[in-house]
Amino acid sequence: MVITAAGTALPDPSAPASVVDLAGRAARGALDRAQVSASSIGVLINVGVYREHNTFEPAMSALVQKEVGINLDYIADPEPAAGFSFDLMNGACGVLNAVQVGQALLETGSTERLLITAADVHPGGDADRDTAYPYADLGGALLLERSADPRAGFGPVRHYTADRPTDVEGYLDTGTMGRHGRTTITVRREAGHAERLSEFAAHAAADYAREIGIDLDRTLVIGPAAAAAAAADSTGAEAEAEAGAGVGAGGEPHTAAPVLGYLRALDSVRREDHEQLLFVSVGAGPSAACALYRPEGW
């Protein structure tokens, strides 16, 4: 299973940020790059966590599907097909969870093309005004298809859980939010959590490399800034970080981070130096996910 195209989207400064808008624009950008129609997408998986107004229902995936225009009328559409979409929420590891699900769907022939969308926004609609909120308003999308090249695409996705309580979480504090509940969120991060997550990510990447048998001298690690650096230091691989610069006023990418990291890696990587990429995600749980990826033609 290969990434046919990818896209990211930043908020329109003239309007409140919306996950439906961000995910929709990122998805349409990916479809435009691949030169395929929205109606050719059989399944959409949405993995974003933080939403405007703390919306929980209906499933955000259905709203994103409508925004992108995927199979809105599978009888009258020029390419008649029944589209299916659903939310899959696992924080920072959501994209790789969706990749694992996508592998099964494409392998069984349930669909020929699959779209993963990820977007997070401050529930008040503008992360830049809340200095305590750690994440950037950002959307991302990956378009996935099966490849005829047996060497290309994703390897197995592996998940790792640390044997200790989580030290980062986001939740609705219903006891204190009062009338501001639609525009507020509580994000708790204990001191030193970044260092602990980075160390955990490095151990997960090293375990994955040993299990899969990766040549780390020819591997580029894609992951959150500190985690990617720690994983690279531990494993000997080179790192490409999904740094927050350029994606918001001080916030860091969250669920869309792997998409941003992938696009930045393609812009900077020298193919003669690397033959494969290693996605590493780490977040609350504490949990981590790793997946090997080899682009077509490498």
Per-residue pLDDT tens for 250-267? 588 999 999 999 999 988
Listed in sequence order, the residues at least 6 apart from 191 whose beta carbon sits closer than 8 Å to its beta carbon are none
Residues 211, 84, single domain; the answer is: no
User: What is the mean predicted confidence (pLDDT) over 129-146?
Assistant: 91
Domain boundary among 117, 150, 183: 150
Residues 86, 124, single domain; the answer is: yes
What pLDDT is stored for residue 232 in this prediction?
58
Secondary structure element (H or E) that encloses residue 24, with its range: helix 19-34
The tally of domains found in the chain comes to 2
142 within 8 A of 3, measured Cβ to Cβ: yes
What pLDDT is stored for residue 78 in this prediction?
61
What whole-number distance in Å separates Cα of residue 21 and Cα of residue 26?
9
User: What is the mean predicted confidence (pLDDT) over 4-18?
Assistant: 91
What pLDDT is stored for residue 231 in this prediction?
55
Neighbour count for residue 139 (Cβ, 10 Å): 32
Residues 90, 173, single domain; the answer is: no
Residues 58, 135, single domain; the answer is: yes
102 within 8 A of 144, measured Cβ to Cβ: yes
- Categorize the per-residue pLDDT at 235 as very low, low, confident or very high, splitting at 50, 70 and 90: low
**Between 179 and 184, whose confidence is greater?**
184
Residues 10, 145, single domain; the answer is: yes
Per mean pLDDT, which of 27-31, 82-86, 172-176 is the most reliable?
27-31
Residues 182, 141, single domain; the answer is: no
Residues 215, 241, single domain; the answer is: yes
Residues 175, 103, single domain; the answer is: no
Secondary structure element (H or E) that encloses residue 27, with its range: helix 19-34
Residues 58, 170, single domain; the answer is: no
- Categorize the per-residue pLDDT at 268 as very low, low, confident or very high, splitting at 50, 70 and 90: confident
Query: What range defines the domain where residue 26 resides?
Result: 2-150
The CATH number assigned to the domain holding 236 equals 3.40.47.10
What pLDDT is stored for residue 248 in this prediction?
44
Residues 202, 88, single domain; the answer is: no
Residues 221, 253, single domain; the answer is: yes
Residues 253, 121, single domain; the answer is: no
Domain boundary among 89, 123, 150: 150
